[in-house]
Structure 1
């Protein structure tokens, strides 16, 4: 039985992680260790976790490292050969980990597996952050089986097939420690949002698989650390999406795709301005300005070149990258559901 290190980055709000840790106590899978990285919370979270959960390995960072840095720090303390990265605002079915471990045990080519993620408050619905497995379109807009933009589907058991996906949600995924270390873990400069997509992109380029196992089920609050409508969240998502486009595609595709993506940034910013969201409007241009860090982008491209086994076209052929624009298909064509895509 492989040992699983469960790594939970945390920043404030003890009541949320308290629910999560109580849920983990009910797990059927017992060969685990739980590592909580406190990202320099300013409330009493650290002391309460320390006093109430003696079996938890608790480490405090001197500063907020974000999701990426918190997870990397947790991985450095992990003794398991499998790593489970888990959001603090989740609860889990008692057998969820058994199904995920079974997926990794059964195929050495699988680098990462995600559970079905459902909404905590309305458990008939998929959750926004991951739903039933993640994809991107060619312009690096992410979407999921069960969620495209703000359209969230009801779980009618329509996605019960375990299959390859492009990315597994940082809300919860299981990976091999050896692969995580070999691919340099999460990029800490991304801080939060889309770092798991960056990691999974590297896994796919290195000819590993990322999959969804819908038999494994968890429930996610969402937006408890950073509100969904936060301008800073928008900045991180758009900045990181642009960074991934520039660093992970082959150069010829960067040249072809980047100008169109910039145009969509401008259009999106105008929409925010007309919606009377001036800070969201500004966040688009701050994300573009951040790309002037050329040494950082070049360094990422060097890393990707070293690990690349598959071409971009191979990933398109696997249909884990959507070759059309999800923005166009959703907002213009009215394709609101995953079943309308990849036909």
Structure 2
């Protein structure tokens, strides 16, 4: 199917693969709250559940790009963004509900400062609308060992949104649940890494954006509502595997030596401790998922040497300790009992 023309500057892109029920639930909010200055485009990844026919029959005004095969999450977005010539693109998960005016502040931030390359709105839980949502909350950071966390969500503790994060701030990473980004910056940084399959691919992309001198900013007055876990449950050993493996690959791709080797040495201890905890909790599949993540990382690391060299060669900016925190979130959470962002060291 031919790609739609691009008379507007902004495209809201929703990647779909056999997500007919999600389309039934969330497409009405996408249509209602996509502003006039943006095109809503469904990117279908070779669905076989009638998704394409549903959009064509019930929402003929919605633009549609239908691939003939499933390219996966990262490669699907990469292909679509390369083909669609918009200045700004929104990567929107298919289980996100929009709200009135959600795109206003992100677009204002992008237009106000050319150094801002990506923006994240406030992400709340669709099933518990006063709470932040796990995958993004009020914007993300990573600690000194590469573990990600958010304002409003430290490890498993999620806060209620009471306006405590009500000002725009710079972030280390913006959630892929709703990522507003300059298309040129996305393409220049290489887009999402298809090897990751799922989880933390947006953090890896944001790391590259920062290393090239870009900024990622939180837009507090913009709010979307994310279901989360629509593809993999938080209890899934597969999700444990992907999170650990992808996090290690991300660190290897982006962290300069000699710090890289110090971090990996400490991560061996902490990740194997996590595997032991899973075993003690009678979750052997989760334990083996951590061990398999390390095995897979050590194999794939050899194939990433050129990618790592390219990333480091294109690095033009030092990442601030305000974004890559100089402490361990594991120590702060488990040993010092600091389970809210406001309690962490400044």
Range into which the TM-score falls when normalised by the shorter chain: over 0.9
Normalised TM-score (structure 1)? 0.94
Determine if the alignment matches structure 1 residue 107 to structure 2 residue 110. Answer: no
Would the alpha carbon gap of residues 72 and 274 (structure 1) be closer, same or farther in structure 2, given more than 3 Å must change? same
Q: State the match for 1:85 in structure 2.
A: 91
Q: 1:158 aligns with which of 152, 164, 184?
A: 164
Moved more, 106-115 or 251-260: 251-260
Q: State the match for 1:341 in structure 2.
A: 344
The answer for unaligned runs of 5 or more in structure 2 is 1-6
Q: 1:210 aligns with which of 216, 232, 237?
A: 216
- CA displacement, residues 14-41 of structure 1 (integer Å, 9 cap, x when unaligned): 2222333211222262122222222333
Partner Cα distance (1:71, 1:18) in 2: 21
Determine if the alignment matches structure 1 residue 235 to structure 2 residue 235. Answer: no
SS of 1:5's equivalent in the other structure is strand
Contact 1:37-1:73 within 8 A present in 2 as well:
no
Q: State the match for 1:315 in structure 2.
A: 320
Structure 1 segment 192-271 matched on structure 2, within 5 A? 192-271=198-277
SS of 2:252's equivalent in the other structure is helix
Normalised TM-score (structure 2)? 0.93
Partner Cα distance (1:173, 1:228) in 2: 21
Structure 1 segment 37-56 matched on structure 2, within 5 A? 37-56=43-62
Could you tell me how far 1:225 is from its partner in structure 2? 1.7
Partner Cα distance (2:48, 2:34) in 1: 34
Contact 2:14-2:91 within 8 A present in 1 as well:
yes
Would the alpha carbon gap of residues 303 and 54 (structure 1) be closer, same or farther in structure 2, given more than 3 Å must change? farther
Moved more, 301-310 or 189-198: 301-310
Contact 1:5-1:79 within 8 A present in 2 as well:
no
Cα RMSD (Å) of the superposition? Answer: 1.7
- Aligned residues, how many? 339
Q: State the match for 1:26 in structure 2.
A: 32
Would the alpha carbon gap of residues 2 and 160 (structure 1) be closer, same or farther in structure 2, given more than 3 Å must change? farther
The answer for unaligned runs of 5 or more in structure 1 is none
Could you tell me how far 1:132 is from its partner in structure 2? 0.4
Would the alpha carbon gap of residues 227 and 44 (structure 1) be closer, same or farther in structure 2, given more than 3 Å must change? farther
Q: 1:324 aligns with which of 324, 327, 331?
A: 327
Partner Cα distance (1:26, 1:184) in 2: 32
Moved more, 170-179 or 41-50: 41-50
Structure 1 segment 267-282 matched on structure 2, within 5 A? 267-282=273-288
Q: State the match for 1:306 in structure 2.
A: 313
Q: State the match for 2:304 in structure 1.
A: 297
Could you tell me how far 1:56 is from its partner in structure 2? 2.8
Contact 2:237-2:289 within 8 A present in 1 as well:
yes
Q: State the match for 1:149 in structure 2.
A: 155
- CA displacement, residues 272-301 of structure 1 (integer Å, 9 cap, x when unaligned): 112222221111111111121244221221
Partner Cα distance (2:111, 2:275) in 1: 45
Partner Cα distance (2:336, 2:202) in 1: 29
- CA displacement, residues 59-93 of structure 1 (integer Å, 9 cap, x when unaligned): 34454433212211221232311010000001111
SS of 1:237's equivalent in the other structure is helix
Q: State the match for 1:171 in structure 2.
A: 177
Q: State the match for 1:11 in structure 2.
A: 17
Partner Cα distance (1:94, 1:150) in 2: 29
Could you tell me how far 1:2 is from its partner in structure 2? 6.2
